[in-house]
Amino acid sequence: MFFSSSLMEHADQTYEGPEIEVKSGIWLFVLAIIIHNIPEGLAMGISFSAKDMQIGVPLTIAIALQDFPEGLAVVLALCTTNISRGKAVAIGVFSGLMEPVGALFGVSLAGGLGYVYPLGLALSAGAMMFVVFHEVIPETHRRGHHSTATIGLMCGFGLMMILEKIFS
């Protein structure tokens, strides 16, 4: 009884300071993931528009492999806020559904125009590089995780190179 009445007393309080900064940072992170899933889907769609499975399948596998921890990161980050687990999972799934939207756009963009294919791949790769270099790397270095972030980036790049050799 005391616990529930205590919750009611504090339900209408607003937060200030570091707590509110963390929550807004989590939403910024989730929004960035949602937005960056569109160019990933664009890359998948463009890669399949060439009707060459040796291009589309390895790229889709590589993106799908990194989507699992990415979606988990979204859900776990949202679970630290006042959102229920069900809503956190729903938002995580929604963030992943942006990739098929991007893929459909990529196929429709490059499917009818052959010269758009390499330009589309360059555009999607450039968009992903921009997100990584402009948003992700500075954020990891801001909190003092220089070495861990750099090693993680290098390991991810190495894994992508290995997968490229295996599937090509």
| Per-residue model confidence as pLDDT tens digits over 99-140 | 888 888 888 877 666 666 677 667 767 776 777 777 777 777
Structure tokens at 8: 């009611």
Looking at residue 11, its amino acid is A
Exposure letters 81-94 (e unless 16+ CB within 10 A, then b): eebeeeebbebbee
pTM: 0.59
Residue 10 within a domain: no
Distance CA(78)–CA(72), nearest Å, equals 10
Mean pLDDT (the chain, rounded): 76
Whether 42 contacts 110, CB under 8 Å: no
Residue 7 inside a domain? The answer is no
Number of structural domains the chain divides into: 1
Which residue do the tokens 């900064």 mark? 21
Alpha-carbon distance 168 to 155, whole Å? 20
Residue segments in the chain with a per-residue pLDDT below the cut of 70: 1-24, 111-117, 120-121, 124, 128, 168
Assigned domain for 151 exists: yes
**Which pLDDT does position 88 carry in this prediction?**
92
Q: 18-41 burial string, b = 16+ CB within 10 Å, else e?
A: eeeeeeeebeebbebbbebbbbbb
pLDDT at 144: 78
Query: What is the token pair recorded at 57?
Result: 């399948």
Please choose, from the candidates 57, 88, 94, 93, the residue with its C-alpha nearest in 3D space to the C-alpha of residue 75. Answer: 88
Give the model's pLDDT for residue 126.
77
**143 within a domain of the structure (yes/no):** yes
Range of the domain at 61: 18-167
